[in-house]
Amino acid sequence: MFRVGIVGASGYTGGELLRILSTHPDVEVTIATSREFSGKPISYVHVNLRKHYTNLKFSNVSLEEILSKSDIVFMNTPPGVSHKLTPKLLENGLKVIDLSPDFRLKNLEEFKLWYGFEHESPDLVSKAVYGLPELHREEIRNADLVACPGCNATSTILALIPLVEEDIIDTLKIVVDVKVGSSEAGRKPNLGSHHPERANVMRPYNVEGHRHVVEVEQELSLISRKNVKVVFVPHAVGAIRGSLATCYSFPIEDSIDDNMLRKIYAKRYGKEPFIRIMGEGLYKYPDPSNVLGSNYADVKAVVQERSKSIVSMCAIDNLMKGSAGQAVQCMNIVLGFDEKRGLDFPPLKPI
Amino acid sequence: MFRVGIVGASGYTGGELLRILSTHPDVEVTIATSREFSGKPISYVHVNLRKHYTNLKFSNVSLEEILSKSDIVFMNTPPGVSHKLTPKLLENGLKVIDLSPDFRLKNLEEFKLWYGFEHESPDLVSKAVYGLPELHREEIRNADLVACPGCNATSTILALIPLVEEDIIDTLKIVVDVKVGSSEAGRKPNLGSHHPERANVMRPYNVEGHRHVVEVEQELSLISRKNVKVVFVPHAVGAIRGSLATCYSFPIEDSIDDNMLRKIYAKRYGKEPFIRIMGEGLYKYPDPSNVLGSNYADVKAVVQERSKSIVSMCAIDNLMKGSAGQAVQCMNIVLGFDEKRGLDFPPLKPI
Amino acid sequence: MFRVGIVGASGYTGGELLRILSTHPDVEVTIATSREFSGKPISYVHVNLRKHYTNLKFSNVSLEEILSKSDIVFMNTPPGVSHKLTPKLLENGLKVIDLSPDFRLKNLEEFKLWYGFEHESPDLVSKAVYGLPELHREEIRNADLVACPGCNATSTILALIPLVEEDIIDTLKIVVDVKVGSSEAGRKPNLGSHHPERANVMRPYNVEGHRHVVEVEQELSLISRKNVKVVFVPHAVGAIRGSLATCYSFPIEDSIDDNMLRKIYAKRYGKEPFIRIMGEGLYKYPDPSNVLGSNYADVKAVVQERSKSIVSMCAIDNLMKGSAGQAVQCMNIVLGFDEKRGLDFPPLKPI
Amino acid sequence: MFRVGIVGASGYTGGELLRILSTHPDVEVTIATSREFSGKPISYVHVNLRKHYTNLKFSNVSLEEILSKSDIVFMNTPPGVSHKLTPKLLENGLKVIDLSPDFRLKNLEEFKLWYGFEHESPDLVSKAVYGLPELHREEIRNADLVACPGCNATSTILALIPLVEEDIIDTLKIVVDVKVGSSEAGRKPNLGSHHPERANVMRPYNVEGHRHVVEVEQELSLISRKNVKVVFVPHAVGAIRGSLATCYSFPIEDSIDDNMLRKIYAKRYGKEPFIRIMGEGLYKYPDPSNVLGSNYADVKAVVQERSKSIVSMCAIDNLMKGSAGQAVQCMNIVLGFDEKRGLDFPPLKPI
């Protein structure tokens, strides 16, 4: 049994990590930190977890305790925290799965620009592996520090990988329209997430620029032979969970058709344990409501003949494949487990 | 008092027409048809209208009755019905506000392609005026037959008019991502609108092509000096009412900035009674939840500097500015009333 | 034109007062206070009201300004504020419609017990009229100070009046189960109203005792010849607006049947402008979704034969008949207008 | 490995059985019937189950196939079907877990009255065990035929067992107000469950009498020394899953207090694997949103001092502890497994 620490365990992602790991056969959560709820039982906050973790209480962050109790640590902290604490964990031989943005970007300038802090561990930035197994599985296997992607970056990149790898679209004219559920903004109440303000919205936000686009362009540029430019606008819609990326692109050659896209996606994703390509059935296109509670990402790409464009879509649960689930998937790879260990359950539906 | 007939009055748009007209000072609804509920009081179906229309019952469609009881008729029928009945109404001197698609398109071929019927009144197609007052106000004033736009076409066209008129975007690379509420699909139950299936979705549909795009391209081409090509994908999201069009386009010249867009939209829409340009406040971008129950359309356009693109948005209530409200606005113009008559009430919020 | 002041105008009830009064033909809002948004235009906060109140800005509370600008004032303040300010308004000849609880209760002890303050205007408590027109219409007509009921008290009392007045139920065994929407808790964000926490709940609260029960028992005791004891539990459910009171009682005599109940309710409420007794139609029982946006209260009572009990129900929009709408109804009575002035519009549906 | 057949596998309960059993270590689903979708893969209908059951297709109901392929069968059929098919399964040595109402009631007359059919297997009615493990665990262990409770009956009975067993309430004056999500009405579209009609309701239904009350009174009478009479009204509210029973009763003796209730419930339910008594924490009362996706039932009882009443509550997921989950719990008992086998995972939250 590996011993797992969770730094930042009282929010939604922390709760989701605890939920998943409660049934993982090979690890045990030994420490879960929360400044606000230190000393309280886990189920005090995560009421759904009553009858689970009956012997665990939230504790304050203490480096000594983390070092003595954990083999691997999930950093589930606000931007600007992990880049200070993580180096100490690594120095002491622990592995770190970072769910914060602190090691996602390779260009140090961008941390200041988008997250407002000066990075204090530039050397680790280059060592950290971007935690999208579908792109970096082998590097993750040997990594000490995995920087898990943002939820909207995950859905966007997964929708676009085959198109960019196959070099069939104009990479300077990619439009990504994202829809997200309210849990993305976390547990802390604010006006925009207040129920009467949020329940029935179709609300664009960060229209002038959203920070997840930096990761998207970084990763797509890596796999492309060309510069990549993405127009990206997220929208809050009436759901608690889910991130849907609808990606619009223009094919370089007119001859592309649905059949070719089907083959390209099948070839690229056919063996991926958590990617499902939508096909025949009552619903034909990706929709997060088909993956909620699970680590699956549903994808599909089609040609819109009239407008000579390609529409590629990816639907995930933002708290699962978009954060906690993907983090556990990365942990499995780092620790040498089967990638599906503890994650091999289907989505809940209807919900 | 003008006498108003509503053909197809038991659905959502019919109910909304009845709701609005119940407080309109200059018209009276004298006939409301419904095959299914013929003989039942209005409030039997529209439970919200109890204590209103207490002397009116649904009746079967009878040409004689319509002719004898109405001066102006709202055709609120499925595709393929109005093009047969409307000619008879016009011949007898009535005015017709058509909420169905039967006279929206100018190219007769498209009716067959998208709506599956052979048009029987091609001469009226050319006489019909597309009922978007912001584009065709003067023609509507003199029209006998007004063909009201589809809801998603309304939000899309309103978001794009100033950009196309000012000729500042590449009209061959316009991407429109639309989000809509469940009322758009009407009152008839079906699996996709069944509550457990629909409540929390982010579900793309008609990805291969949606028929509203034909009107959009038709109208934008009219005001442009160039060919217009629109990539268009609607998405069902978790709300009952609302249509939000997020439109992505690429400026012809790099120098365009937010300030210029603000001026262009202010100039174009400043005197429009039902267009509101979003500005300062707790919410800065269009969101249908700010216009529900009213005939307003909220619009805004901004430059996304990083991607050198323009994002223009328009939010409407699909049952109001997207259908019944806009139809009454057209009726007001046709009958010579103040355009805001009976429509000059604010949206309901929170809702 | 009477001049209206609104003290506390930036919350949901304030916004609803502004919405209604924007189309009221006989009054004008001349002052709207908000500490937080002082100096901002009305539409800065109430984004739905853009294009309305274009000349009005929020101002700080200033006794002088209120006195100089208003004939009648809506007090829309947290518990414990109005009992200090209202006396000064009355002394200067203004009328006050109080939406806060400060003058609802007749027993001074209860203010301390349920609202935590020592009442400073005990003399006004006895002069204040409880603002439920269906019970106190004549007294309201001559009142200077009207104390409007709480929303859940309104739905509960309206469901029970005919049963208590006719003396046909055991008044010591009344059970009231209330369901309410999230807007009831106001605009201020908190964990319980945070969208991810609130969207799909069926959450009992204040099970140990809810303060609205005091008004309920007070008013029902007034019209009963007996002591009245009510078991009362509110539940947060998944909606923004609405209060439904399901009231269970036991008939004194077994012979009571649906027909008798129908007659009793018709006799009591037949002439009430805002009470609608549910009858035949697609929906047979009260449900707030049929009254949203309006001042109507839908009621019905039936006998459940198997259990020998009476189920009486009342559905209202908590922000309308439950607060702002009822306050305007009271204002109309106080000012001598037709009771329906400015309120005679139907509910919005579907929504 | 036991072989499991599911008769009626394409609806919500069928999908939930398939979801749970996909991770159950000791059984295998070998047959899943659906008239409508015969020949289609499981994931054609249950899109969430893509990548699971890849070798199973829906089949038509064939007695021979069921007998040859199954050791135990879940009957998941509309009222009036199981009482004809189940006898043949039992005769051939299969075990049956019946999720339909066909064997729930002991009084044969009630089937005709509430479900409209004449029972053809009266002898089996007396042999069938009511599938509520908290009441009939030992009988279930030896049963060939288990008749699983209705969802609202489950939440109601669990809320009341300790009060009735301890004989501390007036059993002739029990009021039960139930709130339920839309999935309870199944997958078939109808007006009442159409999203625009259903999303924000607080809608009482079957106010004149709901058939689940028969089971409730039957089971509570069995454990009481007295006649039991229950006033019971269900309400549709804005959620997909969940059943909350709020039960109001009057204590026989005034001395009862919260502390005594706590002890009574702790004693009765302390060792139950799926009953959780709500205590300290961010939420203190049962709410289905804390149990969704799991087999847990959250309960609590408190005294409302002012009204001298007891409020006892139980929250379940109607598709889990209210049907599929409880059915699997019963299967585990029947087959001699640990009761929690395949069900020992926590609820999903937020959702």
Average pLDDT over chain B reads 97
Identify the chains in contact with C, defined as 3+ C-beta pairs within 8 A: A, B, D
Percent of chain C exceeding pLDDT 90 equals 99
Q: Minimal CA–CA distance to D7: which of D93, D70, D90?
A: D70
Q: Search chain C and give the residue with CA nearest D209.
A: C304
Using a CB-CB cut-off of 8 Å, the residues of chain B touching A231 are 248, 304, 307, 309, 311
The Cα B168–Cα C107 span in angstroms is 70
Q: Give the residue-averaged pLDDT of B150-170.
A: 98
Contact D282 A45 (CB under 8 A): yes
Among all chains, which residue has been given the structure tokens 């006396």?
Answer: C87
Using a CB-CB cut-off of 8 Å, the residues of chain B touching A244 are 202, 204, 235
Give the Cα-Cα-Cα angle D110, D112, D118 (nearest 5 degrees): 120
- For A45-97, the pLDDT digits (tens) are 999 999 999 999 999 999 999 999 999 999 999 999 999 999 999 999 999 99
Average pLDDT over chain A reads 97
DSSP code of C194? B
Q: Minimal CA–CA distance to B289: which of B204, B347, B346?
A: B347
Tell me the two tokens of residue A176.
Answer: 């990504």
Q: Is D251 on the interface with C (CB under 8 A)?
A: no
Among all chains, which residue has been given the structure tokens 């009054």?
Answer: C27
- What is the least distance, in Å, from the CA of A146 to any CA of chain C? 28
Residue in C254, C307, C309 to test binding to D, most D beta-carbons within 10 Å: C307
The Cα A334–Cα A73 span in angstroms is 12
Residues constituting chain D: 351
Among all chains, which residue has been given the structure tokens 């009454």?
Answer: B328
* B149 preceded by a cis bond (ω within 30 of 0): no
D300: left (phi over 0), alpha (psi -120 to 50) or beta: beta
Q: Give the residue-averaged pLDDT of A98-126.
A: 97
Name the H helices within A92-233: 108-110, 122-127, 133-141, 151-165, 195-198, 212-223
The Cα D257–Cα A92 span in angstroms is 54
- Single-letter code of the amino acid located at B308: K
Q: Give the residue-averaged pLDDT of C292-315.
A: 97
Would the pLDDT of D167 be above 90? yes
Q: Give the residue-averaged pLDDT of A281-290.
A: 97
Tell me the two tokens of residue B37.
Answer: 């509920």
Instruction: Give the 3-state secondary structure of residue C4.
Output: strand
Q: Minimal CA–CA distance to A103: which of A66, A77, A129?
A: A129
The Cα D152–Cα D229 span in angstroms is 16
The Cα A83–Cα D99 span in angstroms is 54
- For D93-146, the pLDDT digits (tens) are 999 999 999 999 999 999 999 999 999 999 999 999 999 999 999 999 999 999
Contact A240 D350 (CB under 8 A): yes
The Cα D148–Cα D130 span in angstroms is 6
For D2-148+323-335, give the CATH class: alpha beta
A97 touches A91 (CB < 8 A): no
The Cα B263–Cα B282 span in angstroms is 22
Under 8 Å CB pairs connecting chains B and D tally to 51
Tell me the two tokens of residue C17.
Answer: 């007062």
Average pLDDT over chain C reads 97
Average pLDDT over chain D reads 97
* Among the ranges given (A37-46, A222-231, C124-133), the one the predictor scored with the smallest mean pLDDT: A222-231
**Architecture, CATH, for domain A152-316:** 2-Layer Sandwich (3.30)
The Cα C24–Cα C113 span in angstroms is 38
Q: Minimal CA–CA distance to C215: which of C100, C96, C314?
A: C100
A170 touches A256 (CB < 8 A): no
The Cα B308–Cα A226 span in angstroms is 17
Helix (H) or strand (E) holding A27, with range, is: strand A27-33
Q: Search chain B and give the residue with CA nearest A299.
A: B204
Long-range CB contact pairs, B142-147, < 8 A, 24+: B143/B95, B143/B334, B144/B90, B144/B95, B144/B96, B145/B86, B145/B90, B145/B95, B145/B96, B145/B98, B145/B103, B146/B96, B146/B97, B146/B98, B146/B327, B146/B330, B146/B334, B147/B98, B147/B101, B147/B102, B147/B103, B147/B104
The Cα B137–Cα B339 span in angstroms is 10
Instruction: Give the 3-state secondary structure of residue A185.
Output: helix
Q: Is C345 on the interface with B (CB under 8 A)?
A: yes
Tell me the two tokens of residue A197.
Answer: 């303000």
- What is the least distance, in Å, from the CA of A349 to any CA of chain C? 15
C15 touches C29 (CB < 8 A): no
Which pLDDT value is given to residue C225? 80
Q: Search chain C and give the residue with CA nearest A242.
A: C196
Which pLDDT value is given to residue C248? 98
pTM, two decimals, is: 0.98
- The number of CA neighbours under 13 Å toward the Cβ of C88 is 12
Would the pLDDT of D225 be above 90? no
Q: Is A67 exposed, middle or buried (0-12, 13-18, 19+ CB in 10 A)?
A: middle
Q: Is B237 on the interface with A (CB under 8 A)?
A: yes
- For C331-346, the pLDDT digits (tens) are 999 999 999 999 999 9
B247 touches B156 (CB < 8 A): yes
Percent of chain A exceeding pLDDT 90 equals 99
The Cα A223–Cα A133 span in angstroms is 14
- Identify whether D151 is a catalytic site residue: yes
Q: Give the residue-averaged pLDDT of B126-144.
A: 98
D285: left (phi over 0), alpha (psi -120 to 50) or beta: beta
The Cα A322–Cα A314 span in angstroms is 11
- For B46-85, the pLDDT digits (tens) are 999 999 999 999 999 999 999 999 999 999 999 999 999 9
Query: What is the 3-state composition of chain C as percent helix, strand, coil, each rounded to the nearest 5?
Result: 35, 20, 40
Q: Is D46 on the interface with B (CB under 8 A)?
A: no
Using a CB-CB cut-off of 8 Å, the residues of chain B touching C43 are 281
Which pLDDT value is given to residue A225? 80
- For B187-235, the pLDDT digits (tens) are 999 999 999 999 999 999 999 999 999 999 999 999 998 899 999 999 9
Which pLDDT value is given to residue C255? 95
- What pairs with residue B231 in β-bridges? B175
- For C111-122, the pLDDT digits (tens) are 999 999 999 999
Tell me the two tokens of residue C115.
Answer: 């609202």
Contact C198 A200 (CB under 8 A): no
C156 touches C219 (CB < 8 A): no
Helix (H) or strand (E) holding B315, with range, is: strand B309-316
Name the H helices within B277-340: 324-335
Tell me the two tokens of residue B346.
Answer: 């604010």
Which pLDDT value is given to residue B225? 81
Q: Search chain C and give the residue with CA nearest D214.
A: C306
Among all chains, which residue has been given the structure tokens 């893969």?
Answer: D41
Report domain extents, chain C.
2-148+323-335, 152-316
Q: Give the residue-averaged pLDDT of B252-278.
A: 97
Q: Minimal CA–CA distance to A120: which of A102, A139, A144?
A: A102
Instruction: Give the 3-state secondary structure of residue D248.
Output: strand
Tell me the two tokens of residue D60.
Answer: 């038509």
Q: Is C288 on the interface with D (CB under 8 A)?
A: yes
Under 8 Å CB pairs connecting chains A and B tally to 164
Q: Is C240 on the interface with B (CB under 8 A)?
A: yes
The Cα A348–Cα C92 span in angstroms is 63
B9 touches B53 (CB < 8 A): no
Residue in D12, D48, D193, D298 to test binding to A, most A beta-carbons within 10 Å: D48
The Cα B54–Cα B56 span in angstroms is 6
- For C215-243, the pLDDT digits (tens) are 999 999 999 988 999 999 999 999 999 99
C4: left (phi over 0), alpha (psi -120 to 50) or beta: beta
Contact A193 C190 (CB under 8 A): no
Distance from chain centroid for Cα B225? 25
Among all chains, which residue has been given the structure tokens 């990548």?
Answer: D51
Q: Minimal CA–CA distance to C15: which of C96, C99, C104?
A: C99
Q: Give the CA radius of gyration of chain A.
A: 20
Q: Is D23 on the interface with A (CB under 8 A)?
A: yes
Tell me the two tokens of residue B15.
Answer: 């109910």
- For B139-156, the pLDDT digits (tens) are 999 999 999 999 999 999
Contacts of B65 (CB under 8 A, 6+ apart): B31, B59
Using a CB-CB cut-off of 8 Å, the residues of chain A touching B216 are none
The Cα B11–Cα D315 span in angstroms is 36
Residue C78 has a CB neighbour count (10 Å cut-off) of: 13
Residue A329 has a CB neighbour count (10 Å cut-off) of: 31
Query: How is D203-236 classified by DSSP, letter by letter?
Result: EE--TT--THHHHHHHHHHHHSSS---EEEEEEE
